[in-house]
Amino acid sequence: MVRVRLEGLPDEVHRTANAMRAAGCVLERSREHPNRGESRHVRVYLECYIPEGLEVSRHD
Nearest residue to 14 (alpha-carbon basis) of 44, 54, 47, 57: 44
pTM, two decimal places:
0.79
pLDDT digits (tens, 9 = 90+) for 25-53: 899 999 999 999 999 999 999 999 887 77
Q: What angle do CA 10, 11, 16 make, to 5 degrees?
A: 100
**60 pLDDT above the threshold of 70:** no
